[in-house]
Structure 1
Amino acid sequence: MMKWEEVRKVFPNQFVKIEVLKSHVEDDKEYIDEMAVIGTVDELQATDELLSSKNNVLVYHTSKEQIVLKIRSRIGLRRVFRNEYRA
């Protein structure tokens, strides 16, 4: 189990595939608190890896200071979708 700050130090300036272990929601944003690193992802494969990820698995670049996901719900559906939040 690691925090994002630790992941950024161990894997500087890389895409990493992680499993979210603990998060919290504030308003319409999910903040990732603790994670397990599955491994690094080649830059050319990052988009494909992200699109094929399921459940609590994400691909994220360690240049970002924190992992914040915007939660959007679609009217008429009972499912919550995660999207990266860009400030």
Structure 2
Amino acid sequence: MRLRRVIRRGSRSRRCKKPLTLDTGLDLAAQYFIRSFLHLTEWWLAPPDAQAHGPERMGEIYAELILRPTLAAALRASVTRPPADTGSG
């Protein structure tokens, strides 16, 4: 399938340029996010399950399996919370 070739080619070129390390958390999350989205879309469009779920349901599946976990991991790694307002000022 053409999508698989594109993903493989992109993976190879990515590996050649800069290997992922544990200290590239946001980069790793972005890679996971993109690849997961592409694989889920490929699964949805491929027989025998081709579009077994409607677009709305696929949006829910996408949010549950990919979007929420990726955002949670990215935010946990990169956002520090401001100090709580104690109301004394």
Compare the two structures and name the one with the higher helix fraction. Answer: 2
Compare the two structures and name the one with the higher strand fraction. Answer: 1
Larger Rg belongs to = 2
Q: What is the TM-score with the length of structure 2 in the denominator?
A: 0.24
Q: What is the TM-score with the length of structure 1 in the denominator?
A: 0.24
